[in-house]
Amino acid sequence: MKEVVASAPCKTILFGEHAVVYGYPAIATAINLRVRTKIRKVNGELIIHSRDLKVTWKRKQSVPKEFLPIYKVIEDISDLIDQKPLNGMHIEIFSDVPPSCGLGTSAATAVSVITAMLEFLEINYDKNFINKLAFNAEKISHGTPSGIDNTVATFGGLIRYVKSNSGPNIERSKYTPEFTLILADSGLPRSTKHAVKNVAILREHFPRVIEDIFSIMGKISDEAWTLLSKAGENLKTIGYLMNINHGLLDAIGVNLPELETLVNIARKNGALGAKITGAGLGGFIIALAESAAVHKICSAIKNYARLVLIAKPDSKGCLVESKVKN
């Protein structure tokens, strides 16, 4: 039975979230937690099933909103090969992390579905093409995404990302740093759209102040990029920069007492630095830790978090994990 399994990494923003929306640099890394898509051949049907969302869709039903980005992917690929409707596939999606938690699962889902579909349909592709289709899907998920998530899910590794009118400027580090991140989920629901809008309103009220904060966030990203993109990175300094960045995220109003508690517990138990990651107002914090401190931080933080994950930067990007030809 023809079957393909492809996967794409989730991501965490290390520096520069929110400022990146206004053209300042952000640093993100792929992490070794993945979303996987398995496609197998079925006759005359198109079925999408998400294990994590517990949602199943069949061609004749109306598309549930959770699957609209994937439906966009299917439409784009069906246009590309001029095959309508595109049937004959059972698409199953499953992830190492919960959905909608700020770890880039929507982009990793889109990228893994695209990679699996292109491979299943034997269409020639390169990663730039995957990234482009995934960005279209991200527009359905997030309205005006920066493009950072689909880029990291596609190429993996550590990236410096600057948004601009003429398209994003993306630098990929040749070196993937080796450190451990502890990711702690506040369990509070979050919405990137809502947080970005709140920050936009604050910026309208205090344009010069907020612009200056964004500018400092950009400088922090650049300092961190210099340290991170070479071997022997100075983790202590990177931790300090994370703490400063967290303070500025607090200043632009995306912190919450529950997130602050997680950050404080991580720092108290030996983290080199800790901050909100992603949009904030819920979701995860990340803490940078030396190996010796990981256990202590996890034990302390798990009493306050819905979920605690341990992750390392991942350099592979999207990939085909297995393929059975017929």
Q: Which two tokens stand for residue 270?
A: 């030996």
Name which of 30 and 279 has its Cβ closer to ligand PMV.
279
Q: How far is the CB of 152 from ligand PMV (least distance, A)?
A: 10
Name which of 17 and 185 has its Cβ closer to ligand PMV.
17
Q: Is 82 a catalytic residue?
A: no
Name which of 105 and 269 has its Cβ closer to ligand PMV.
105
Residues with Cβ < 8 Å from 289, sequence gap 6 or more? 179, 180, 181, 182, 266, 270, 271, 272, 297
Contact call for residues 184 and 289 (beta carbons, < 8 A): no
Set 96, 149, 185, 314: catalytic member: 149
C-alpha separations of 235 from 71, 254, 273 in Å: 42, 25, 9
Q: How far is the CB of 310 from ligand PMV (least distance, A)?
A: 19
What is the C-alpha separation between 321 and 176, in angstroms, rounded? 21
Q: How far is the CB of 206 from ligand PMV (least distance, A)?
A: 18
In this chain, which residue has its C-beta nearest to ligand PMV?
Answer: 278
Contact call for residues 225 and 25 (beta carbons, < 8 A): yes
Contact call for residues 258 and 250 (beta carbons, < 8 A): no
**Sites of contact with ligand PMV (CB under 6 A):** 13, 17-18, 20-21, 102, 104, 145-146, 148, 192, 195-196, 278-279
Sheet holding 307-311, edge to edge: 273-276, 284-289, 180-185, 307-311
Name which of 47 and 216 has its Cβ closer to ligand PMV.
216
Residues with Cβ < 8 Å from 176, sequence gap 6 or more? 29, 157, 158, 313, 314, 315
Helix, strand, or coil (residue 312): coil
Q: DSSP readout, 158-204?
A: EEEEE--TT--EEEE-SS----EEEEEE------HHHHHHHHHHHHH
Q: How far is the CB of 278 from ligand PMV (least distance, A)?
A: 2
Name which of 134 and 148 has its Cβ closer to ligand PMV.
148
What is the C-alpha separation between 226 and 223, in angstroms, rounded? 5
Name which of 192 and 255 has its Cβ closer to ligand PMV.
192
Q: How far is the CB of 236 from ligand PMV (least distance, A)?
A: 26
Q: How far is the CB of 275 from ligand PMV (least distance, A)?
A: 13
> Catalytic residue positions?
149
